[in-house]
Amino acid sequence: MKSDEIMDVALRRGFIFPSSEIYGGISGFYDYGHLGTLMRKKWENEWRRHYLGLHPNFFEIDATHIMPRNVFVGSGHLENFNDPLTECEKCHSRFRADHLVEEFLERSAEGMSADEMSRLLKESNIPCPKCGGHLLDVKMFNMMFEIAVGATGESEVAYLRPETAQGAFLAFKRSFNTLRGKLPMGLAIVGRAYRNEISPRQGFYRLREFNQAELQIFFDPDTIEEHPEFDTIKDVKLRMFPLQNRSSGEVDDITASDLNKNYGIPKFYIYHLAKIQEFYLDKMNIPRELFRFRELSEDERAFYNKIHWDVEVYTESLGGYKEMGGLHYRTDHDLGGHQNASGERLDVNIDGKKFVPHVLELSFGVDRNFWTLLDIFYKDEGDRKVISLPKEVAPFRAGVFPLQKKEDLEKVAKTVYDNLRQCYDIFYDDSGSIGRRYRRQDEIGTPYGITIDFQTLEDNTVTIRERDSMNQHRVKIEDIWKNI
């Protein structure tokens, strides 16, 4: 299976591995190795460059991971952040009931109540996947991690954040004032979030401790039908999978203008759809046919999301299209909820107009995107395994190889290595045959191999080998920069 092949490379080469592995670990927790950390941080930096570059008033902040209980009263997480739990009467294993419905009955459980899922499990005689025992009635399980802050006996109940978004909402008032009271204003947070998943499945796709990259755009709701840059994307064809296409499974290419005219989607929302697609197709090199926006029904989306399209990419190792992120029009639900719960005014006054800003959220799962890039660009070509990652996110930009362990070759190779590593992550390898060294770098996604040989000593040129084509050409040492 492709998932096993990718995991083999990931473990063997140092992309990811189970956390606390020598003690057996806990499902849903993974560590990033040296290659995975390099690759993830590069993806995050490309995300920052792209999305924070959409407007001069978009900035990144860094909020705490631990927040007091009342934050999640105001956000609604204590009441609504639940998953359906069922337990085996015999072995006491616990499962997400909606996953069992989808797995055994091949139908979606989106929008079903706990009672409806209980009835369906019973009527369909769905057994415990582990021992075949009887499954108990479904109950709703809150997924937040509760912790105690303070000394014993004086502790305050707090929670690990289940999403990065709340940090941006809580920072809104202070940020709005320090940024001179202008809208739209974007606050991005790239970092960890925590969810006590009932039964994490699909390896690296659903984790209990995970990374998110989210941008909350605060704006005047009266301006949702406009965007100053809309004309630059009006003819862009977007890969849309609307509700009416569920039965056919077909994805439509619809221009931004037609989405506005025929589907009634606001221009402010559509502009950001186009920029999300641009990121995936142009920056991450995702094949167009593997990408789509999937519309969620009223039952599927959160009640406060007025418009919700998921960002999906076909991921073979996970069995089909999988959610990588989403674009959510959250209205004033978030600021309004925190205003009511805290008693702190979060409305604004712009040119005499008072209102609570609305929020457009661009939300992405970093780990899911990381795995999907490995999935899409991994190939087993028989005589070599290669991950053809875009050079912007590859762990190393190039490998530097002295042809032999000769002092004069190694001296030049180390000079080339030292110069290049001022701007790029570069790998130095002088062990084994040159072909074997190429193959090692192919397997971890390094786009270029730079070989210093005896001709280098004569004319100051090196051989550059391209990972995907395996073509080689010679360039002057001073021109390496132009070729990688």
96-100, 216-220, 363-367: segment of lowest average pLDDT: 96-100
Q: Which helix (H) or strand (E) holds 278?
A: helix 267-278
pLDDT band at 153 (very low <50, low <70, confident <90, very high): low
pLDDT given at position 183:
97
Name 54's Cβ contacts closer than 8 Å, sequence gap at least 6.
186, 272, 275
Instruction: State the CB neighbour count (10 A cutoff) for residue 408.
Output: 13
In the chain, the amino acid numbered 180 is R
For range 238-257, the mean pLDDT: 97
204 compared with 69, residue with greater pLDDT: 69
pLDDT band at 81 (very low <50, low <70, confident <90, very high): confident
Name 187's Cβ contacts closer than 8 Å, sequence gap at least 6.
58, 59, 60, 61, 168, 171, 172, 175, 215, 216, 218
What are the residues facing 466 on neighbouring strands? 448
Q: Are 325 and 311 in contact (CB under 8 A)?
A: yes
Alpha helices by DSSP H, 292-433: 333-342, 366-377, 407-420
- What distance in Å separates the CA atoms of residue 171 and residue 160, rounded to the nearest whole number? 17
Q: What is the pLDDT of residues 167-201, one digit of tens each?
A: 999 999 999 999 999 999 999 999 999 999 887 76
129 compared with 400, residue with greater pLDDT: 400
Alpha helices by DSSP H, 34-164: 34-51, 69-75, 77-80, 97-105, 114-123
pLDDT band at 205 (very low <50, low <70, confident <90, very high): confident
What the chain holds in terms of domains, given with CATH numbers, is 35-66+151-378 (3.30.930.10), 83-142 (3.30.40.230), 396-483 (3.40.50.800)
117-131, 251-265, 451-465: segment of lowest average pLDDT: 117-131
For the chain, the C-alpha Rg in angstroms (whole number) is 25
Average pLDDT value over all residues in the chain: 95
Q: Which helix (H) or strand (E) holds 277?
A: helix 267-278
pLDDT at 56 over 80: yes
- What distance in Å separates the CA atoms of residue 205 and residue 276, rounded to the nearest whole number? 20
- What distance in Å separates the CA atoms of residue 165 and residue 367, rounded to the nearest whole number? 17
Strand order in the sheet with 472-476: 426-428, 398-402, 448-452, 461-466, 472-476
pLDDT given at position 300:
85
In the chain, the amino acid numbered 472 is Q
Supply the DSSP symbol for 213.
E
Instruction: State the CB neighbour count (10 A cutoff) for residue 225.
Output: 12
For range 14-24, the mean pLDDT: 95
Q: Which residues in 53-172 belong to E strands, given as ranges? A: 58-60, 66-68, 82-87, 94-96, 139-142, 146-149, 156-160
- Alpha-carbon dihedral angle through residues 353, 56, 169, 85, given to the nearest 10 degrees: 130
Q: What is the pLDDT of residues 268-325, one digit of tens each?
A: 999 999 999 999 999 999 999 999 999 999 888 888 899 999 999 999 999 999 999 9
* Burial environment of residue 175 by CB neighbours within 10 A (0 to 12, 13 to 18, 19 or more): middle
For range 51-67, the mean pLDDT: 98
Name 176's Cβ contacts closer than 8 Å, sequence gap at least 6.
185, 218, 348
- The SS3 of residue 330 is strand
pLDDT at 210 over 90: yes
pLDDT given at position 202:
66
**Residue 406: HSE in the Cβ half-sphere, 13 Å Cα cutoff:** 11
Supply the DSSP symbol for 395.
S
What are the C-alpha distances in Å from 436 to residues 211, 433, 441, 442, 449? Answer: 35, 5, 9, 10, 12
Q: What is the pLDDT of residues 310-327, one digit of tens each?
A: 999 999 999 999 999 999
**Residue 84: HSE in the Cβ half-sphere, 13 Å Cα cutoff:** 23
- The SS3 of residue 455 is helix
Q: What is the pLDDT of residues 430-473, one digit of tens each?
A: 999 999 999 999 999 999 999 999 999 999 999 999 999 999 99
Q: Are 145 and 194 in contact (CB under 8 A)?
A: yes
Instruction: Kindly state the percentage of the chain with pLDDT values over 70.
Output: 99
* Burial environment of residue 154 by CB neighbours within 10 A (0 to 12, 13 to 18, 19 or more): exposed
